[in-house]
């Protein structure tokens, strides 16, 4: 009787361990496509991502760069006041989206142009995503970027030192 109980107990432990390992593997596999890493325009310029990599691009919408095309096509530039990346998006923009406003776009880089599938905008006049604020500097303004050692200030926005 005791050996049968031990045998059953061992079978249950082995089955539970196998189920745990299988569920962990499935969760990790499912998250591989769902994880989007945030990058600033300077990070994208320094280390361009793979063509099929989906990531989040964040920064400020550069003043004077917003161009509305036919239908729901929109093009604009996202800057961290050091570098800027051109973004193209087809769809309806959030109500609070605009020039000189913080934004985070999800998509991929194709031939140097960020093809966005989703655009997020700040929800009130004081909010800025933490990641965007950190990449832009404390105040998130051109003056803050001008004080960053890796940027050189040139008029409307700064460029990375050595890239004029």
Chain segment 102-158, per-residue pLDDT in tens: 889 999 999 889 999 999 886 555 555 566 666 666 554 555 554 555 565 444 444
> Are residues 41 and 82 in contact, defined by beta-carbon separation less than 8 angstroms?
yes
Q: With 0-12 CB in 10 A as exposed, 13-18 as middle and 19+ as buried, what is 16? A: exposed
Kindly list the distances between the CA atom of residue 80 and the CA atoms of 16, 127, 133, 149, 150, in Å, as whole numbers in the listed order: 50, 16, 9, 14, 12
Answer yes or no: pTM beyond 0.85. no
CB under 8 Å to 109, separation ≥6 — which residues? 44, 48, 49, 51, 53, 85, 115
User: Which of the two residues, 45 and 141, has the higher pLDDT score?
Assistant: 45
C-alpha–C-alpha distance, residues 108 and 116, integer Å: 7
């Amino acid at each position: 009787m005791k050996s049968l109980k031990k045998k059953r107990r061992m079978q249950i432990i082995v089955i539970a361990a196998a189920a745990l390992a299988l569920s962990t593997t499935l969760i990790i596999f499912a998250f591989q496509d769902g994880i989007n890493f945030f990058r600033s325009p300077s990070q994208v310029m320094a280390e361009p991502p793979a063509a099929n990599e989906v990531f989040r691009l964040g920064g400020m919408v550069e003043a004077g760069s917003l161009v509305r095309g036919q239908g729901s096509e929109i093009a604009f530039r996202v800057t961290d006041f050091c570098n800027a990346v051109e973004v193209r998006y087809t769809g309806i923009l959030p109500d609070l989206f605009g020039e000189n406003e913080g934004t985070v776009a999800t998509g991929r880089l194709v031939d140097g142009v960020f093809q966005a599938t989703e655009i997020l905008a700040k929800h009130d006049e004081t909010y800025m995503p933490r990641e965007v604020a950190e990449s832009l500097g404390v105040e998130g303004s051109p003056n803050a970027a001008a004080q960053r050692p890796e940027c050189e200030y040139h008029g409307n926005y700064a460029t990375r030192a050595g890239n004029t």
